[in-house]
Amino acid sequence: MIEMKINTEEGRIQVKVAEGSYLELVDSWNNRKVLMIMLRLIKGEDGKAVMTFEEIAKALGYSDRRNVNNFWREFCQCGMDFSQYLRRKYKIEEKIRDCILEVFLEDIFATAEQVTLQVQRRLKLEAKDLSSGTVRNVLGDILKVRAKINKMLARGQAHIREEFLIEELFAMVDQLLQGCQDESARIKQKHLQGQFTRSELCPQKADVKHNQVFEAELMKKDGHVAGWVHEYMLMFLLYWHGISLSTLGKWFSVDKSTVWRRLRNFSYLGFLVLSLGVGISSGLIGVDEKWIRVSGRWQYLFFALDLESGLPLHFEIYKSRSNYYCRLFMTRLRQLGYSPRLIVTDGLAAYAYAIRKVFPGAQHQLCIFHLMQSITLWLKKHIGNQDLLVELKGKAKRILQTADKRTARRRLKKLKKRRKIKGLLVIISRKWGRIIPAIGSTWIPSTNNSTERFIRAFERFYRARQAFHDKASASEQVRLFLLGYLIEQQVGSRQSPLEQLNADIRNWPLYKMWNKPDFSKLQIHQSQQGEKAA
């Protein structure tokens, strides 16, 4: 009789096979699977199995012998080969497997949890009948490929497209731009009149008149504004600096939905203020993108800034930063009348394609700061010796720390003699042609500092929100941020970005209340409201 002893404290399984001898294994799941098959394979002189399925199940602590029987059948289906048996896929009904593949093929970017819910609904299964782990086992390596595609899409190294259709659409846009006389002036006028987004920002007719009054109050050049405008402005100021809608509602004794309706006035006003400079720039433009979460999915906020004034020029929200989305953003800039002579970007390859297609006459410059970041990341990943890492990092960055192009080339040539840094040299060589023009130049910026400053400011604003409900609300939130960013005085210069365009904004009540809010008028207004209520 074969005896089995499981020692849970030591994590060992002992099987007595003969008098004075035993087989000992580590108590692991794979060892148990092998052991139950080996016990079933032991036969007596009559050719029959020594242990029944029930005895094996009882020895291993299974409540039902069918558990062991199922493993035995799977072992037989694998040709009684232990390696195939241990590597086998999770077995489920063909009907469920087919439904999982059908649902996944309908949306290859759906998560395992989303596929699980859809299969449960279609086949009317309960949660215990199908888990997301089972779905992952069925899809297997497909999910690994999908994860790789997602990373490539996020980095702009791939894009999903109907290439012929997209090319035709861009060709139509180019024809429209070439066929219209003074196209930039016409579109700028439309932008100033708010024809592009007025319906989006003011969906209710009752709000239009209120917005126009609000706009006139905050943008007039003399006189005082009403008390309710001060209250709205204080709400906006606090919200811009991170106070939530619900907290503002408690402070002002209104519902948070009422707070948001009041803040939407500033979203519309932000659009109008941004429109004041449409088509006007120094010709030096910085372009970058920031990831944001919209409707539960990661998307990208594209924006362009004037590198001399720091003035935001335009923004868009796209699902990806692939070649075609970058090209579409550049096309939007061209539609608004911008004709840059220099565009500074980070190292994203998709921008090179987009600039070449939309602004072939513009010079494309890469930001040196982003190249230094790439150098640091590569060294940390491939160099294990800390002293060598510090040495190589210093020499690689020293290449760009000069105002003489010949010195930079000589230092790069010297670095190429070092061994085991071929990958780093490839990174520098690929970007060298768009880096070297800024070294020693009096007009080409070597860094994208304006866009980095903008990203840091937006990150503070976004951190308090964490995510946006949908694309429309995300656009409104960005316009709210832009209004505050445009009129806020910078710490060093004591000027706001909008002052670079129009110095008269210092006389606007909007500007004065934002940078030097008068809380006494708010208190008078609130006391008057209390007297009326009494």
Per-residue pLDDT reduced to its tens digit, 257-305: 999 988 888 887 887 777 777 778 889 999 999 999 998 888 999 999 9
- Residue 463 parent element (H or E): helix 449-465
Token match 């690994």: residue?
A: 144
Predicted confidence (pLDDT) at residue 367 exceeds the cutoff of 80: yes
- pLDDT of 416 reads 87
Kindly tell me if the per-residue pLDDT of 434 is higher than 70: yes
Query: What is the β-pairing status of strands 363-366 and 342-345?
Result: parallel
Alpha helices in 5-127 (DSSP H): 29-41, 53-60, 65-77, 82-86, 94-106, 112-123
Q: Nearest to residue 348, comparing CAs of 328, 364, 332, 336?
A: 364
Task: Show Cβ contacts of residue 380 under 8 Å, excluding neighbours closer than 6 positions.
Answer: 389
pLDDT at 478: 92
Q: How confident is the model at residue 511 (pLDDT cuts 50, 70, 90)?
A: confident
Of 129-133, 136-140, 174-178, 321-325, which has the strongest mean pLDDT? 321-325
Give the integer Cα–Cα distance in Å for 395 and 400. 10
Compute the mean pLDDT over every residue in the chain, rounded to the nearest whole number: 79
**Cβ distance 505 to 496 under 8 Å?**
yes
Task: Identify the residue whose tokens are 């899409």.
Answer: 153
The closest alpha carbon to 226, from 212, 239, 238, 216, belongs to 216
Which helix (H) or strand (E) segment holds residue 233: the answer is helix 227-240
pLDDT (tens digit per residue) in 61-77: 776 777 788 778 878 87
pLDDT at res. 113: 86
Count of residues for the chain?
A: 534
Q: What's the mean pLDDT in 75-92? A: 68
Closest CA relative to residue 529, chosen from 249, 521, 509 = 521
**pTM score:** 0.66
pLDDT tens per residue across span 320-343? 888 888 988 998 888 888 999 999
**Helix or strand (DSSP H, E) at 240:** helix 227-240
Tell how far CA 511 is from the center of its chain: 33
Q: List, edge to edge, every strand of the sheet that includes 363-366.
A: 312-318, 297-306, 284-294, 342-345, 363-366
Q: What pLDDT is recorded for position 458?
A: 94
Angstrom distance (rounded) from CA 461 to CA 443: 32
Q: Backbone phi, then psi, for 76, in 5-degree steps? A: -65, -40
Distance CA 104, CA 135 (A): 10
Side chain identity at residue 484, one-letter code:
G
Residues 6+ apart with CB under 8 A from 316: 301, 302, 303, 328, 329, 332
**Residue whose C-alpha is closest to residue 28's, from 12, 15, 14:** 12
Residue 62 CB: number of other CB atoms within 10 A?
17
Going by DSSP bridges, is the β-strand pair 284-294/342-345 parallel, antiparallel, or unpaired?
Answer: parallel
- Structure tokens belonging to residue 168: 């035709």
Q: Are 516 and 506 in contact (CB under 8 A)?
A: no
CA separation for the pair 91, 137 (Å, rounded): 9
Residue 484, C-beta contacts closer than 8 angstroms, at least 6 positions apart: 236, 237, 240, 461, 514
Q: How far apart, in Å, are the Cα atoms of 465 and each of 36, 201, 361, 470? A: 55, 20, 40, 13
- Position 274 scores a pLDDT of 77
As to burial, measured by CB atoms within 10 angstroms (0-12 exposed, 13-18 middle, 19+ buried), residue 404 is exposed
Which residue in this structure is represented by tokens 């919200």?
A: 239
Distance CA 15, CA 39 (A): 10
73-77, 314-318, 380-384, 523-527: least confidently modelled range = 523-527
In terms of DSSP H, where are the helices of 383-421? Answer: 386-398, 405-415
Range 6-15 burial, b when 16+ CB lie within 10 A, else e: eeeeeeebeb
Calpha distance 461→475 (Å, rounded): 14
CA neighbor of 478 nearest in space, from 244, 267, 183: 267
Domain ranges, ordered by start, for the chain? 3-86, 94-155, 188-275+490-533, 368-441
Cα 72 to chain centroid distance, Å, stands at 48
Whole-angstrom distance, CA of residue 450 vs CA of residue 421:
32
Give the integer Cα–Cα distance in Å for 446 and 451.
Answer: 13
Taking every pair of C-alpha atoms in the chain, what is the biggest distance, in angstroms?
110
Residue with more model confidence, 6 or 353: 353
In Å, how far from its chain's centre is CA 515?
Answer: 32
Question: Residues 168-215: pLDDT tens digits?
Answer: 567 666 666 665 545 445 545 555 444 344 344 343 443 555 566 666
**What stretch of H or E contains 169?**
helix 163-179
Local structure of residue 91 (DSSP, 8 states): P
